[in-house]
Chains A and B, each alone.
Chain A
Amino acid sequence: MSLYPSLEDLKVDKVIQAQTAFSSNPSNPAILSEASAPIPSDGGLYPRLYPELSQYMGLSLNEEEVQRNLAVAAAQPQGQLVTRPSTNYMVAPVTGNDIGIRRAEIKQGIREAILCKDQDGRIGLRLKSVDNGIFVQLVQANSPASLAGLRFGDQILQINGENCAGWSSDKAHKVLKQASAERISMIIRDRPFERIITMHKDSTGHVGFIFKNGKITSIVKDSSAARNGLLTEHNICEINGQNVIGLKDSQVADILATAGNVVTITVMPSSIYDYIIKRMATSIMKSLMDHSIPEV
């Protein structure tokens, strides 16, 4: 069973499969056999794309681009593979090896991070207790925490070997304060309450959702957002892996506009988001938060 990062990838792959089946066995009519797919004269690995694909679903699909995405993984039998922590691979003829997905990707599993304190003795991290777990509420820009790759919504399982289960926010901050400045070891679960949705811009450059104060309020009919099942009552945490919490709506719109054709947004249900940022001064959120683009 194949997996695809977005609905557009699924549809395009189906078309390509139909064409491949058609060209390899012309006696069997392919599903979309109205237009004859020309057999490639150069003997290439993949048949030429369906002629009308360029206008499919309002996307402007460049034939060379899709072939490039497919041909990159030439060793594998099918399309572009994006390796996941699990053994599942995804087929992505349209999304390809998009760096935004890789930056945004939520890793399934736990990892260790080592931090040191800066010269002021700070890490630049603020934590909050949610449901008897400790979560990252704020990562300050240019801080040891941001260097270690911590993000809003990450769950801290252990600090220096001690389980954080059941701690209050105050206790967590106290432990951090008392910890050695040279080395703080944290075990982290990657953003458990968030998930990513990959969408594609249409020819007007829109993905298809309306948001206010960082919260998605409505979805445009027949848009990529609608197709991929983006939901309302969710807050946008990241765009292509870059944290956008605390930014003005106009700034978020700018980031969306310059984001390239494939947009992967990280969302969190609003009820949970509101709880995590409760009692965090909005001024802090706006001025101190780390908004850098993560490395991949």
Chain B
Amino acid sequence: MATLYPSLEDMKGHQVLQAQAAAGVRTPATTVVTEKPKLTSGTEPPVLYPNLAELENYMGLALSSEEIQKNLHSEDSTVAPLQALTPVGPSPGQLVAPLSGNSAGLRRAEIKPGVREIHLCKDERGKTGLQLKNVDQGIFVQLVKANSPAALVGLRFGDQVLQIDGKNCAGWSSDKAQRALKKANPEKIVMVVRDRPFQRTVTVHKDSTGHIGIVVKKGKIVSLAKDSSAARNGLLTHHCICEVNGQNVIGMKDKQLTEVLAGAGNVVTLTIIPTVIYEHMVKRLSSGLVKSSMDHSIPDL
């Protein structure tokens, strides 16, 4: 089965490492950044990139061997350190991520497959801080208020609620869903949730100038920069950015969003949703609420 990678840069980095390993060149673990490539023709087998230092400017990324090796080690937990370069091959279905490897943002943003059960309590005012909406005969989380029980339990914008206290939510109106929450036991509400079905994550890398290559207006991606990480990884226009590294950014001003992106580290995992679906979900949600009370905290892992 084909090897999977979270981003294109991971794929290219891994292929280079495999090519090197196959050619029998072992990149030393430290202080390789300043080495010049040894191109002794004739004695060494010809390889594409004799030394990862050459890759430093590859695709505008600042790649260092230590970082890549570190990420490879943590992914290939079954392989001894220096052997990580030999093409052992990941077990089928596992993601190989020499660059994105240790990104906490990737793990925070990850959309979990399947369904899960959560227990919610109400706060002292009897509220859950949750607003629900009917979309296509399903109930979805439209708003999670900051510092609310819903935020604490890890609910996010776009989560689909399948059951509340054992009753299927299929076909409920938004009002019915809110009423069910209101009437529920304040000690414990049992909900079965499907993780953000309409959203997906795309992992991109910043280039040497710190840009990922998108132009954002009012939280929507309006254009992609040519030859940027965003273009390479297939980010699309007409999509809204819901989260950056798992942190909800809906309702933030563009300036704030840019700050979050700037502070995000080199590996950025964006959670995006097609704009048509997003508009459908926030229909009749007061924009005041969106801007002022939405939960923007960084989720725990």
Contacts and interface: CB of A to CB of B under 8 A. Distances in A.
B149 interface: no
B8 interface: yes
A83 to B, nearest CB: 5
Interface in B224-259: 224, 226-227, 230-239
B168 A222 contact: yes
A85 interface: yes
Contacts of A83: 91, 93-94
A86 B5 CA distance: 11
A228 B115 contact: yes
B224 A227 contact: no
Given A10-B117, A88-B112, A227-B162, A108 B232 contact: no
Nearest to B169: A229
A100 B200 CA distance: 22
A3 interface: yes
Contacts of A88: 110, 112-113
B156 to A, nearest CB: 14
Contacts of B197: 195, 229
A56 interface: no
Interface string A64-93: 000000000000000000011110101000
Contacts of A196: 113
Interface residues of A, number: 59
Contact of A187 (B11, B200, B224): B11
B162 A232 contact: no
A83 B138 CA distance: 28
A130 B235 CA distance: 11
Given A85-B95, A133-B236, A90 B8 contact: no
A232 B136 contact: yes
A28 interface: no
A132 interface: yes
A110 B231 contact: no
A3 B163 contact: no
A112 B227 CA distance: 19
A86 B110 contact: yes
Interface in A14-40: 14
A128 interface: no
A86 B224 contact: no
A20 B111 CA distance: 30
A85 B137 contact: no
Contact of A165 (B93, B137, B232): B232
B92 to A, nearest CB: 8
A63 to B, nearest CB: 23
B5 A110 contact: yes
A184 B277 CA distance: 35
B94 A111 contact: no
Interface string B79-106: 0000000000001011100000000000
Interface string B198-242: 101100000000000000000000011011001111111111000
Interface in B1-18: 2-8, 11
Contacts of B2: 111-113, 149
A237 to B, nearest CB: 15
| A157, A198, A222: residue with the most chain B Cβ atoms closer than 10 Å | A157
B276 interface: yes
Contact of B116 (A3, A110, A187): A3
A192 B232 CA distance: 15
Contacts of A85: 4, 93-95
A227 to B, nearest CB: 5
B212 to A, nearest CB: 13
Contacts of B42: none
B135 interface: yes
A47 interface: no
B114 interface: yes
B121 interface: no
A133 B136 CA distance: 26
Interface in A220-277: 221-222, 225-234, 269, 271-272
A205 interface: no
Contacts of A233: 136
B171 interface: yes
25 contacts: A4-B114, A5-B114, A9-B115, A88-B110, A107-B4, A108-B111, A109-B95, A110-B7, A110-B11, A110-B233, A111-B4, A112-B2, A112-B11, A131-B236, A149-B2, A163-B227, A165-B224, A189-B234, A229-B169, A231-B138, A232-B136, A233-B136, A269-B198, A271-B276, A272-B276
What 3 A-B pairs come out closest when comparing CB atoms?
A109-B4, A165-B231, A226-B170
